[in-house]
């Protein structure tokens, strides 16, 4: 088991920062860190994503793992790894990206939905998979997948909130990806980083009890 997969399975939460403005990025990261989040994902469709990843590796590398999200293809994967991303997360499965990550020593957790895609990702070398979009089908779908696919680490992304997070873990999720339910961009724009920290702590405490 790689150190990054071990961190994912231990911490259980990946904070997804999509569309964060660079001027707010560092204070948002610091609020998440103060709340106990240890995996930070900057999506590659965020303006200046590579620069944020590179800066965060330097500033916060001792406190958290910094990764790239929405890594759709090899070009994005190369850009993210060059910036210092320690893990790559995608909404899709691209076997070339999985192989590239393995060659670079960078964990890749691709997005999949069906049993066929999950097994294909696993056989291509993915250490874990991201079940996406899980919001539409819910945690009961995850529980059904777990029956025949009980050995593959799964991260549920989309639709997870404080009210149902325990249901997702009971259904078999090993981790969750949290976007707007954790990183509320209105709070960020309003400078309410105390609310970001409080929300982060609430999710961290929720998974600690599971």
Say if 209 falls within a structural domain: no
Cα dist. 36→17, 28, 63, 99, 150 in Å?
16, 13, 10, 31, 28
CATH code for the domain in which residue 144 is found: 3.20.20.70
Report the pLDDT value the prediction gives residue 210, as an integer from 0 to 100: 85
Which amino acids are annotated catalytic? Answer: 41, 130
Nearest alpha-carbon partner for 129 in 147, 116, 144:
116
Query: 83: number of CA atoms within 13 Å, CB side?
Result: 26
Report the pLDDT value the prediction gives residue 162, as an integer from 0 to 100: 92
Say if 210 falls within a structural domain: no
What is the per-residue pLDDT across 168-203, written as a single tens digit (0 to 9) for each? 999 999 999 999 999 999 999 999 999 999 999 999
Phi, psi of 113 (to 5 degrees): -135, -45
Dist CA 144 CA 80 (whole Å)? 34
Q: Which domain holds residue 49?
A: 3-204
Indicate the number of domains in the chain. 1
Lowest mean pLDDT among 50-59, 117-126, 156-165: 156-165
Dist CA 43 CA 192 (whole Å)? 22
């Amino acid at each position: 088991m790689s150190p990054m997969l071990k961190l994912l399975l231990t911490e259980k939460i990946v904070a997804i920062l999509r569309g964060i403005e660079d001027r707010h990025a560092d204070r948002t990261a610091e609020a998440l860190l103060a709340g106990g989040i240890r995996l930070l994902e900057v999506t590659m469709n965020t303006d200046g994503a590579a620069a944020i990843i590179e800066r965060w590796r330097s500033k916060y590398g001792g406190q958290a793992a910094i990764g790239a999200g929405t890594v759709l293809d090899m070009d994005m994967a190369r850009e993210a790894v060059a910036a210092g991303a320690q893990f790559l997360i995608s909404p899709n499965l691209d076997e070339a990206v999985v192989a590239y990550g393995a060659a670079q020593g960078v964990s890749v957790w691709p997005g999949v939905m069906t049993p066929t895609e999950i097994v294909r990702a696993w056989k291509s070398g993915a250490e874990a998979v991201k079940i996406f979009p899980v919001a539409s089908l819910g945690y009961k779908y995850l529980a059904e997948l777990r029956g025949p696919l009980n050995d593959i680490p799964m991260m549920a992304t989309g639709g997870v909130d404080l009210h149902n997070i325990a249901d997702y873990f009971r259904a078999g999720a090993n981790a969750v990806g949290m976007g707007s339910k954790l990183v509320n961009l209105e709070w960020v724009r309003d400078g309410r980083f105390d609310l970001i920290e409080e929300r982060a702590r609430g999710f961290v405490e929720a998974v600690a009890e599971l």
